[in-house]
Amino acid sequence: MLDWTDRTLITQEDLRTASIGASLRISERALVTPLAADLARERHIRLERVPAAAMDDLRPRPKIAIGADHGGFEMKEALKGVLNELGFAYQDLGTHSTEPVDYPDFAHAVALSVSRRSCDLGIMIDGAGIGSCMVANKVPGVRAAMCYDEASARNSREHNGANVLTLGGKMISNEKMREVVRIWLSTGLTEERHRRRVAKIDALL
């Protein structure tokens, strides 16, 4: 039996690598796209969901890609302290000063890191959080959400399976950022109705 419990998304391309009749262990929180589910039935591949509670204590915390433009640089530096306190590893993709830069470059780098699975999640900060969200959502496999309080952070993860968070460094305080990030990282996509809807998002071209 193959162990794919570290994967958050199972696609048709993933299942093409599995043998006909194979059995795969996947997380109960993993998203299976409709095309992947159809291929599993055609190839008689059995997907066995493993309860998340049985895995949480054993699995390392996700690695976070972080980035910012000049408007979000100072908050990004504060974010590093928050991630250290929470025990998350991170990769800082820049920028590294308050010198003016273009936010699309850094938002794209964060989103690509998540799309290519070199990091599990991403957090990008610009002045308002809006432009970076637009950029990130152009990258396949990325579901970016701009959040501004605890409720939007929770909803973006619980209902929409967001894997990139964008924040406005000029719109919220560092203290609010701390609470938003804490909620966002601690909330999961657990209900089947939400997983089914997010799988439909991922199936769109």
Residue 159 bears catalytic tag:
yes
pLDDT digits (tens, 9 = 90+) for 1-52: 788 887 878 888 888 888 999 999 898 888 898 899 999 999 999 999 888 6
The reported pLDDT for the residue numbered 188 is 86
Tell me which H or E stretch contains 68: strand 64-68
Provide the pLDDT for residue 102.
Answer: 98
pLDDT digits (tens, 9 = 90+) for 43-101: 999 999 888 665 555 456 789 999 999 999 999 999 999 999 998 999 999 999 999 99
Single-letter amino acid code for the residue at 9 = L
pTM here is 0.73
Omega prior to 166 cis, within 30 of 0:
no
Domains delineated in the chain: 2-56 (no CATH), 64-186 (3.40.1400.10)
Residue 59, pLDDT score: 56
The secondary element (H helix, E strand) that includes residue 27 is strand 23-27
Sign of the CA dihedral with 7 first, then 8, 13, and 15 last: positive
The catalytically annotated residue of 70, 108, 159, 194 is 159
Amino acid 33 reads T
